[in-house]
Amino acid sequence: MESELTNYVMFVHPSFRITLGGNFTPLLQLLKMLGKEEYDKQVKELCESITSGSKLEFIGEYIDDKDNLSLVFIDNCCGLIDVAEHHFKNQNINGRVSKIIFSDKVGKDSPVCIEESFRDDMLEPTTWREEKNKETGEVTKLHNYPYMYDVLNPIFEKKNTENLQCSSESHCCSCCDE
């Protein structure tokens, strides 16, 4: 009988968070007028198009104080999971990554995994992003920014994996063919 996998939260540097806005803002604002169901359907198709053939996974949208909409993604999700689960296997840990959270408390090349049940040990998530105006040099802090990817329950499942396979034994990222 196989024992149950222990869920781990992986904390990664915010540099793995990718934001696409700008040209998408007018399109996304128009889609919002179609109602939630149609908006969600269209955003899913747009995200599938954006992530097709890439290592991006959609984690949410961001609306700034001027109502500009941006789509937010995590980069190299499967690669991050592979590294963690390879480490789990080498340490004889029967675990899997259940969530990936952005935190500026970890280094760019130093992700940290903490057992999901150890709530007191969790690192502070980075729920904001700084944006620098190229012309003025002024830095704006964008608050309430998407900071988590739920690996086991992604917002959108990918239809076409286009040979993007990770070696995760738990096949918990949507880039994998189950």
In a domain, 44, yes or no: yes
Q: What is the pTM of this model?
A: 0.81
In a domain, 165, yes or no: no
In a domain, 79, yes or no: yes
Instruction: Return per-residue pLDDT of the chain as tens, 178 residues.
Output: 467 899 999 999 999 999 887 777 788 888 889 898 999 999 999 899 989 889 999 999 888 777 778 899 999 999 999 999 999 999 999 999 999 999 999 999 899 999 998 887 788 888 877 778 888 888 877 777 889 999 999 988 755 444 344 444 444 454 444 3
Question: Two tokens at 14?
Answer: 């915010």
In a domain, 172, yes or no: no
Pairing of strands 6-12, 95-102: parallel
- The per-residue pLDDT for 80 is 94
Beta strands in the chain (DSSP E): 6-12, 17-20, 56-63, 69-75, 95-102, 112-115, 129-132, 139-142, 148-150
Total structural domains within the chain:
1
Contact 116, 8 (CB under 8 A): yes
Four-CA torsion 154, 178, 116, 13, nearest 10 degrees: -60
In a domain, 16, yes or no: yes
d(CA 43, CA 41): 6
- The per-residue pLDDT for 160 is 42
- The domain of 37 spans 6-150
In a domain, 83, yes or no: yes
Task: Collect all residues with Cβ–Cβ distance below 8 Å to 76 and sequence separation of at least 6.
Answer: 16, 55
